[in-house]
Amino acid sequence: MTEITKLYQYNTLSALMSGLYEGTMTIGELLKHGDLGVGTLDSIDGELIVLDGKAYQAKGDKTITELSNDVKVPYAAVVFHRAEVVFKQRYKTTYEEIKQRIESYFDGENLFRSIKIKGRFSKMHVRMIPRAEEGVKFVEVSHHQPEYSEDDVTGTIVGIWTPEMFHGVGVAGYHLHFISDDFSFGGHILDFEMDEGEVEIGAIDQLEQAFPVQDRKYLFAKLNLEELKKDIDVAEATQDK
């Protein structure tokens, strides 16, 4: 029997974008569904990074903490990463160039993929979404997000590539987070330059979409989907959007 790799999505980016920030799933539960992924924390207090089965929080004050199982998240996407294509990038490249090389290995544009890149980066530019009150739209919060750029840092990029047709469920295209090897620096990637590294592209066969079924705010929220999709472009995607 072939192994099935399932992307597990908890909640949707559209709900998050509309201001539903309350954490409703525990890290302990989330990690049963994957060992690599991205997301955010209760009250959008920073970026969630799931690497090798452990969950970390990169906060706007530039600290990184490993999260305990009882911490709750409002939104996350995780998968048990299974590399299908692995290649070495031996010379300096931009994020744009790496994206093109990664996509050259895709079979079409309609399947999700997991991405893991371990490398040395001459530049790594990240943001950490700052804690906000429920109801303040994400795109407004992102206008005053802390951003940091580090030179010469080694670490790992983790994330998901989402087909265009699922924009709103997640971010169409790349949604990547970074964490340094010494766990001192990380966040949601805006841009980078890589000196060298090993790139893993993981196959994803299925999407499991979970919802916060006991969250009244989610159940009865009226979402303006066209506006939310535009907000995702502004607030969540990386520079290509």
Could you tell me the smallest distance in angstroms from the CB atom of residue 128 to Zn ion? 9
Q: Provide the CB-side half-sphere exposure for 108 (13 A, CA).
A: 6
CB 99 within 8 A of CB 185: no
Nearer to Zn ion, 125 or 188 (CB): 188
- Segment 203-232, which members bind Zn ion (CB under 5 A)? none
Could you tell me the smallest distance in angstroms from the CB atom of residue 129 to Zn ion? 7
Could you tell me the smallest distance in angstroms from the CB atom of residue 107 to Zn ion? 26
For 178, residues 6+ apart whose C-beta sits below 8 A from its C-beta are: 49, 124, 126, 155, 156, 157, 158, 185, 186, 187, 189, 192
Nearer to Zn ion, 157 or 201 (CB): 157
Assigned token pair, 143: 């206008």
End-to-end CA distance of the chain: 39
Could you tell me the smallest distance in angstroms from the CB atom of residue 175 to Zn ion? 6
Nearer to Zn ion, 99 or 188 (CB): 188
Could you tell me the smallest distance in angstroms from the CB atom of residue 40 to Zn ion? 7
- Segment 186-205, which members bind Zn ion (CB under 5 A)? 188
Nearer to Zn ion, 167 or 188 (CB): 188
Complete DSSP assignment for 173-235 = EEEEEEEETTSS-EEEEEEEEEEEEEEEEEE--EEEEE--TT-HHHHT----HHHHHHHHHHH
Nearer to Zn ion, 159 or 197 (CB): 159
Max CA-CA distance within the chain? Answer: 51
Nearer to Zn ion, 43 or 87 (CB): 43
Complete DSSP assignment for 44-66 = G-SEEEEETTEEEEE-TTS-EEE
- Give the number of residues in contact with Zn ion, rule: CB under 5 A: 1
Could you tell me the smallest distance in angstroms from the CB atom of residue 232 to Zn ion? 11
- Segment 129-188, which members bind Zn ion (CB under 5 A)? 188
Comparing every residue's Cβ against Zn ion, the nearest one is: 188
Residues that bind Zn ion (CB under 5 A): 188
